Amino acid sequence: MSPSLDVSAYHNLLRSSLAEDIGSGDITTETVVPATQRARGDVIAKAPLILAGIELFAEVFLLLDPTAEAEIRSHDGEELVHGQIPVRVTATARALLTGERVALNLLQRLSGVATLTRHFVRSIAGTSAQIVDTRKTTPGLRMLEKYAVRVGGGHNHRKDLSEAVLIKENHIRLAGGVGAALQAAQAAKSRAKWIEIEVTNLEELRDALAHGADMVLLDNMSPPLVRQAVEQVRSYDQGRKIRTEASGGITLGNVREFAEAGVDWISIGALTHSAPAMDLSFEIEPE
């Protein structure tokens, strides 16, 4: 079942996006198209994709025209084929033309994230690993992009800096080492969901395990080295259930090797920072 999306929570985002695009007015539409004319618009998939953001797409037109009606034929999480029409919107022609770019940009972007995520999820099918996102998201669109990751079958890492402790290379350097950073981080244990630290080799991993990490991020390690690290964690664990995460240099071509190395999470920044927009068009006809 696809995750749900409360579109009302994004009204301010939609309004600000429309204001950015419309400026002082859509002078082309206002001079060419009569105010009373009504029309219908069909979204058409131009390539196979995983749909994400369809209700948000429809909401753009409802904000511009309260009489707009959306016939949603496909829902988030569904796989579309070339030529498929997931939604038809009927409204004033001006609303359809003015809202087209904002609505389509969001739908193409979120469907791109969901589609890329689904490719990674399918690549590790049958393993115990999970595909997770990162904070490498578009400013202002983080929660929507993380929603799209879930639509694609992935999982969310931290939603923001307040959710969990993740000690990375710069933290370690400034704190004075792995042990010192983890010792200081214990002060946040009551309010953090977990305490995680990045390690780049087995020596750092041993140090992290000795100083109470709940989770270790195996950064830019090869699959064979990741396997060694996972085995070391399991031999040390003694019931603490320390989780492992692999990150860095992971592609569709090698992700299964990392999954088969035994990690719990595989985090991939590309899910949100490099997902290509899906090819969707919006074709409008007079009603």
pLDDT of 37-92, one tens digit each? 999 999 999 999 999 999 999 999 999 999 999 999 999 999 999 999 999 999 99
219 is catalytic: yes
- Average the pLDDT over 230-253 and give the result: 91
Catalytic pick among 122, 168, 173, 240: 168
Q: 7-121+275-286 in CATH: which number? A: 3.90.1170.20
Contact 1, 248 (CB under 8 A): no
Does the pLDDT at position 110 exceed 80?
Answer: yes
pLDDT given at position 254: 98
pLDDT given at position 181: 97
pLDDT given at position 240: 67
pLDDT given at position 239: 66
42 is catalytic: no
pLDDT given at position 2: 77
Does the pLDDT at position 173 exceed 70?
Answer: yes
- Report the alpha-carbon distance of residue 235 to residue 32 in Å, rounded: 72
Question: ∠ CA 137-142-147 to the nearest 5 degrees?
Answer: 110
Cα–Cα distance list, 173 to 176, 177, 179, 198 (Å): 5, 6, 11, 12
Does the pLDDT at position 120 exceed 80?
Answer: yes
pLDDT given at position 25: 97
Does the pLDDT at position 262 exceed 90?
Answer: yes
Percent of the chain scoring above 70 in pLDDT: 99
Sign of CA dihedral 169, 170, 174, 180: negative
Catalytic pick among 196, 198, 214, 245: 198
Cα–Cα distance list, 250 to 22, 124, 222, 257, 268 (Å): 40, 12, 9, 10, 7
Beta bridge partners of 49: 80
Q: 164-268 in CATH: which number? A: 3.20.20.70
Structure tokens at 272: 């949100």
Of 208, 219, 217, 209, the closest CA to residue 250 belongs to 219
Residue 161 backbone phi and psi in degrees, to 5: -70, -15
Pure H helices in the chain? 11-22, 27-32, 54-64, 93-123, 142-151, 169-175, 178-185, 202-210, 223-237, 255-260, 270-273
- Report the alpha-carbon distance of residue 71 to residue 91 in Å, rounded: 12
Domain boundaries, the chain: 7-121+275-286, 164-268
Catalytic pick among 38, 101, 135, 159: 101
Give per-residue pLDDT as tens, 183-205.
999 999 999 999 999 999 999 99
pLDDT given at position 64: 98
DSSP states of 141-183: -HHHHHHHHHHTT-B---SSTTT-EEE-HHHHHHHTSHHHHHH
- Report the alpha-carbon distance of residue 188 to residue 242 in Å, rounded: 18
Catalytic pick among 100, 207, 214, 219: 219
Does the pLDDT at position 215 exceed 70?
Answer: yes
CA dihedral 141, 158, 245, 78 (to 10 degrees): -50
Is pLDDT larger for residue 39 or for residue 239?
39
- Report the alpha-carbon distance of residue 134 to residue 113 in Å, rounded: 12
Q: Between 202-210 and 178-185, two packed helices, what is the crossing angle to 10 degrees?
A: 30
26 is catalytic: no
- Average the pLDDT over 136-159 and give the result: 98
168 is catalytic: yes
